[in-house]
Amino acid sequence: AQSVSQHNHHVILSEAASLELGCNYSYGGTVNLFWYVQYPGQHLQLLLKYFSGDPLVKGIKGFEAEFIKSKFSFNLRKPSVQWSDTAEYFCAVTSYSGGGADGLTFGKGTHLIIQP
């Protein structure tokens, strides 16, 4: 069974600070990796995804993530955060061979608070 670990449950930053949220997964095969964001009172939105190719993927709102296969990691980054980035961030994985049939396995989430 696959699992996802997000290292930081709560992160507080000031505006313009740089952000890096850690995500590690455990699965022996090929995976598809995702970062979702949930703004207060809203549903999950896809930030970015990795399926194959360039391990550095860019998403919406200036976010990017780097897939490091040797470390089983898929960390999320943003050079300069804004107050509007306050949200819950979830890393998720699905097995490539499963074709998505077995659903996503989520990390427990990181609650990010940006102080003005």
Partner 1 sequence: NAGVTQTPKFRVLKTGQSMTLLCAQDMNHEYMYWYRQDPGMGLRLIHYSVGEGTTAKGEVPDGYNVSRLKKQNFLLGLESAAPSQTSVYFCASTDPSSGRETQYFGPGTRLLVL
Which residues here bind partner 1, judged by CB under 8 A? 4, 9, 32, 34, 36, 42-46, 49, 51, 90, 92, 94, 99-109
Residue 19 vs 37, nearer CB to partner 1: 37
Which token pair is 20? 């890096």
Least distance in angstroms from the C-beta of 51 to partner 1: 5
Residue 2 vs 17, nearer CB to partner 1: 2
CA–CA dist 94, 41 (Å, integer)? 26
CA–CA dist 25, 22 (Å, integer)? 10
Residue 41 vs 116, nearer CB to partner 1: 41
Positive/negative CA dihedral, 63, 27, 71, 24: positive
Least distance in angstroms from the C-beta of 20 to partner 1: 19
Q: Which helix (H) or strand (E) holds 19?
A: strand 19-21
